[in-house]
Chains A and B, each alone.
Chain A
Amino acid sequence: MRALVTPVAALVLCAASVTASADGLKVGMITTLSGGGSALGVDVRDGFMLALDQSERSDIEVVIEDDQRKPEIAVQIADKMVQSDNVDVLTGIIWSNLAIAVVPSVVRQGKFYLSPNAGPSKLAGEGCHENYFNVAWQNDNLHEAAGGHANDAGFTNSFILAPNYPAGHDALTGYKRFFTGEIEAEVYTELGQTDYAAEIAQIRASDADSVFFFLPGGMGISFMKQYAGSGVDLPVVGPAFSFDQGILNAVGEAALGVRNTSQWSKDLDNATNQAFVASFQEAYGRLPSLYASQGFDTANLLISALDKADVSDTQAFREALRAADFSSVRGDFMFGPNHHPVQDIYVREVIMEGGVLTNRIVSLALEDHADAYAGECSM
């Protein structure tokens, strides 16, 4: 008797899960929740879940797993989510090397991937795919704006620094695309490196008049603390990743006054953003970072598509995503032909506000900025 019951129960369970995915939507979130990159993943997750909570929808189920910033673990999790959890949409990856390992195979299997952070050039040009949408930026974008800002600031010779992984290469490429001055030296560090004594020594000995660095998460914290204690006083400039809310808290006043470039800021003046900042603070007791804003927008994009189409109708769901018919914390939001954002990028300044270090917008750096790889994409 028992032998009979089990297969029947299994069948019933199968039927139930098929119905569930036809009605609603299952999201697999792979993100970094431990180690030096965890602040980024935690913010993306919290922003994403906040948007879901506010939508009060009960038909979206989310599975969350920690990739530990390791490509091989991200690939394992993605396989499991696609093959046994039967997710419809994947999201969450922070690091470009992980995105490159996971995204192509996932979208080839007919799943959608919405990137809340990583935007490697490899997936924006020839490697683009109709099921891959980037809700954050193409990697080069904020660095291009930083290069432009360095020109405006009168810098003529930069020392540039980034980790040796795809987003680091994109960062320096982006900066050099817009910066018209000389490049004193370009240096690649190890991903996850915590001691920057060797790099700071090279900066000290250089003739540069400015330092551009892209070091997200814990790497940026270690670098800024050591830089501040090294006695080198060249001005620094960077993307928002090097001066996000999490980094500022740990670095302290050494970051005060630094200019950085971002597609989002806490003081962006639109109703969606004001509501987002207030509700994020209320829900989690801390200020949101740009990563949280990206997670929030990603979830709202997803919800807007689900309002229009069922995920089982791939064609219609893709069109609904492409329309980007949601209210973004960035104000205007639209996708370019390669499913990457076309958006404004701002210059921000690190300020002290009510005893807390944060950023405020100083000027608009690039208006309706698209990425350099869109032309290579054919889908």
Chain B
Amino acid sequence: MMPATLVAEQVLNGLQFGVMLFLMSAGLTLVFGVMGLINLAHGSLYMIGAFACAAVVSLTGSFWLGLAASLAAAAAAGALVEMTLMRRLYQRGHLDQVLVTFALILVFSEGTRWIFGAFPLYLDIPPSLAGTVALPGGLDYPLYRLVIIAAGLAVAAGLFQLVSRTRLGMRIRAGESDREMIAAIGVNIRALYTAVFALGAALAGFAGAVIGSITSVEVGMGEPVLILAFVVIVIGGIGSIKGALVGAILVGVTDTMGRLLLPALFGTFLEPADAAATGASLASMLIYLLMALILFFRPGGLFGKVA
């Protein structure tokens, strides 16, 4: 029997992983949904955010300045990429977009390697967020991860407000349904697209900095997360912020709980060594099985438009 505190802690870990995936997927799903653009280089923006944070932290010693730098650097990189390259790709097919954005991954990765080297960088979380807090039920949980959950949920709430309540959000939704009409009534669609792209990039950069601070900051760190983010937006339904949030938390919790429960499940009928190895291998596939299952019943994703 598994102790309740373990299950509770794993749910929190899954939630923390989920909200981080949401920050990555939100930009991806907006760009894909609103502009019809597949951006494989979204993972590079995550990496840029992490490296910007690492660079500023090593210069100034302040984590908070580093965090601000990650937002600024990723948004700037996103806006620059949108204005110089993506603009030319909206009219083209997905294959061209995939090729160009894949090339961007290589450019960003090699560029970062050139500036920062191939060694990973390791950051320290600020002392004010270090340590653990005692939660009800006798569970000690790292404060930093709790703050990540809170920050992620706050960003999610902010994004909902932005998309559903503000003028900018109204234009984004209008642009999604009819690009020509909204241009005809005098909205500057170009500036709108740049803003959406930069916003998505900033969220990815923020996620990179926050996660890079507890794991490691290295070239290529964005690509594994990018793959998961694509799984999230396919599960949630392309273009839907709500879908991205639900999908991200579903993927985060499934992955984390799978890594705990599958080896335990196999342990009931296999040798411990085999159970651990088989369970671990299968757990890494679990979210793809989840995606297949959801697409089988809802081909458009949980909150997607019916195709």
Contact = CB atoms under 8 A, between A and B. Distances in A.
Interface of A: 33-36, 38-39, 42, 164, 169, 172-173, 183, 185-190, 194-195, 197-199, 201-202, 204-205, 218, 221-222, 225-226, 229-231, 250
Nearest to B215: A194
14 contacts: A34-B219, A35-B120, A35-B218, A169-B273, A169-B277, A187-B276, A187-B280, A201-B13, A202-B6, A204-B6, A204-B140, A205-B6, A218-B216, A229-B130
A185 B142 CA distance: 23
Contacts of B9: 201, 204-205
Contact of A190 (B263, B273, B280): B280
A164 B10 contact: no
Contacts of A225: 122, 124, 214
A221 B122 contact: yes
A227 B5 CA distance: 18
Contact of B5 (A39, A205, A231): A205
Contact of A229 (B122, B125, B211, B276): B125
Contacts of A185: 272, 276
Given A194-B216, A205-B3, A218 B132 contact: no
Q: Closest 7 interchain pairs by CB?
A: A194-B215, A205-B6, A231-B132, A34-B118, A188-B280, A201-B9, A197-B13
Nearest to A34: B118
Nearest to A38: B118
Nearest to B139: A204
Given A187-B263, A198-B13, A231-B140, A36 B277 contact: no
A172 B13 CA distance: 26
Nearest to B10: A201
A7 B119 CA distance: 44
Nearest to A231: B132
A225 B130 CA distance: 11
Nearest to B129: A229
B260 interface: yes
A338 B145 CA distance: 49
Given A169-B277, A218-B218, A231-B131, A38 B119 contact: yes
Contacts of B263: 187-188
A42 B120 CA distance: 13
